[in-house]
Amino acid sequence: CPSSPKHPSTPSEKCGVLNVTKITENGKKVRKSWTSSWTVLQGSSLLFAKGQGASTSWSYYHSGSIPELLLTLLSSWRRSVKPRPAVTFVQAAAKFGSNQSKPEFTVDLRGASVEWASKDKSSKKHVIELKTRQGTELLIQSEIDSVINDWYRALTEAINTHAWE
Ligand code: I3S
């Protein structure tokens, strides 16, 4: 996985920046709060990390697609710039690359389901609805359709692989 050079990549590992919000937690409806998260799929776990925007390791630069890179760099830069207007693009980029993300929450994909979210779930396009066995429902979104399609495929595969564990 590009974010963890120490842990060699496996086919069931995938990382990237996604927009995510919970809509239900333990069966209870919660208020939407979209955040941009560094997302890691590893086996049957899906981990969301929050931090300096899409903070990742530099290796991510070499693995993501160009539009993905530009979007994540731009959003990170915008966020970094707000509190301190003097910060330069290079500083922002360095901060972006310094891997300051904190684990936010993890989702167990065993027995979970994914589907494309219906229009009434969100006005955004390219939204995946993920329902876990524990009664947590998440919406996962990317503006880039190839990115979200890849995630849809990866999540479906992970769920199918680990369904009976
Ligand atoms: O499903 P909703 O309630 O229309 O979702 C929108 C709201 O959560 C809104 O927040 P506030 O109600 O706190 O203003 C968000 O800003 C929107 O992004 C939510 O809608 P989308 O369609 O973007 O998921």
pLDDT in tens, 37-46: 999 999 999 9
Tokens 């160009």 — which residue? 66
Nearest CA to ligand 1 atom 2: 122
Indicate whether residue 121 lines ligand 1 (CB < 6 A). no
Question: Which ligand 1 atom lies nearest to the CA of residue 127?
Answer: 24
Indicate whether residue 141 lines ligand 1 (CB < 6 A). no
Phi first, then psi: give them for residue 74, nearest 5 degrees. -65, -45
What percent of the chain lies above the pLDDT cut of 70?
64
Low-confidence ranges of the chain (pLDDT < 50): 3, 52-63, 87, 92-93, 95-96
Indicate whether residue 124 lines ligand 1 (CB < 6 A). yes
Strands (E) across 64-126 are located at 102-108, 113-116
Model pLDDT for residues 55-82, shown as the tens digit of each residue: 444 334 334 555 666 776 777 677 665 5
